Amino acid sequence: MSGVKQISVKGDEDGMRLDRWFKVHFPQVSHGRLSKLLRTGQVRVDGGRVKANERLLPGQTIRVPPINLDAAANQDGPAKPKPLSAHDKALFHSLVLFEDKHLYVLNKPSGLAVQGGSRTTRHIDGLLQGMAAELYDRPRLVHRLDRDTSGVLVIAKTRSMATALGKLFQTRSVRKIYWALVSGVPRPEQGVIDKPLVKAGGPGEEKVQIAKNMKQDGAQKAMTHYAVIDKAPPSVAWVSLKPVTGRQHQLRVHMQMIDHPIIGDPKYGSLEHDGSGEEKDEGFAHKLHLHARRVTFPHPKGGTVDVTAPVPGHMRESMVTCGFDPEQYDVPEAGEEYDT
């Protein structure tokens, strides 16, 4: 059909929802109109029918019908973005750990989503859209963290920087270190978890599980290095986690797989709660104890970016309860002996 566009998903759009992708590339297409286009099969991914909450993978092809998109063909957001409120602007700047003219590194708090959804009104991507009103270009996500995971999050200020950083994040050039408190003490205390993952569950119930093998439909390679930093046997260990790949829920599923789930994980953990959000189990706040502690990567414009995020309050409290020192830095990081 004349006017139909076939657009490839970029590397820095890995894991982005299809409805969010449309909002970024074609902001004048309303959610209702997109739903109709999907329902009638006019929008497809790799030739197949999908739903608005479909998570995209780099290299996939999105079929976009001829719907008067020329005005937005070279646009990466609304023509006139709404500026952030004073409160949201202050919130955004309070999260900045590092900034230069090309990128930000934020300290994302636990509970703040990176991207929006049907029941999410405040999220990092929305703050970035508002930042476009005062910047030359719209800042873009380079990678993602789960809503309940805290810590370092890299943001590109321009499309070209997003492309450059996206390529880095697809290689071993980016070193990411996470800290977590897990149930029990892993044996051995340092190792590698190399198990592919596959998505499961329907809308609103999305989960990730271990795939039978790489031949299973939808399976993605996933590898994590882990190392015990300190322990309070037999119940708790403080571990350093280094993901070689960056799959959705990778660290949470891998730790569950070796029978040491991350404390406070409502989806893959062992702790139970009543939904109040305030209950504690064995003295720990019922919040995910997973923190993106540090990111290190070569700056595309030269030099090295090396940023560490402070431990969030709920994790610090739990660590002190266990007798751990949250200020301890000089410890072997996960996977160091395996680096090449």
pLDDT at 118: 58
Question: pTM above 0.85?
Answer: no
Number of Cβ atoms within 10 Å of the Cβ of 313: 13
Q: How far apart are CA 210 and CA 256, in angstroms?
A: 10
pLDDT, averaged across the chain: 85
Q: What are phi and psi of 158, to 5 degrees?
A: -135, 165
Write down the pLDDT at residue 258: 96
Supply the pLDDT for residue 137.
74
> CATH fold of 86-169, please?
Pseudouridine synthase (3.30.2350)
What is the Cα–Cα distance from 327 to 277, expressed in whole angstroms? 27
- pLDDT value of residue 120: 64
Q: No. of H helices and E strands in the chain? A: 7, 17
pLDDT of residue 11: 76
Q: Which CATH architecture has domain 175-338?
A: 2-Layer Sandwich (3.30)
The rounded percent of the chain whose pLDDT value lies above 90 is: 55
Residue 146 is among the residues annotated as catalytic for this protein: yes
Topology annotation, domain 5-69: 3.10.290
Residues in CB range of 142: below 8 A, 6 or more apart: 12, 103, 154, 155, 156, 162, 165, 166, 169
pLDDT at residue 115 above 70?
Answer: yes
pLDDT for 159 equals 83
Most confidently modeled of 66-70, 117-121, 188-192, 200-204?
188-192
- One fold for 5-69 and 175-338: no
In angstroms, the CA 6 to CA 45 distance is 9
The three-class DSSP label of residue 99 is strand
Ranges of each domain in the chain: 5-69, 86-169, 175-338
Could you read off the pLDDT of 184-198 as tens digits, one per residue? 999 999 999 999 999
Q: Which of 146, 194, 217, 230 is catalytic?
A: 146
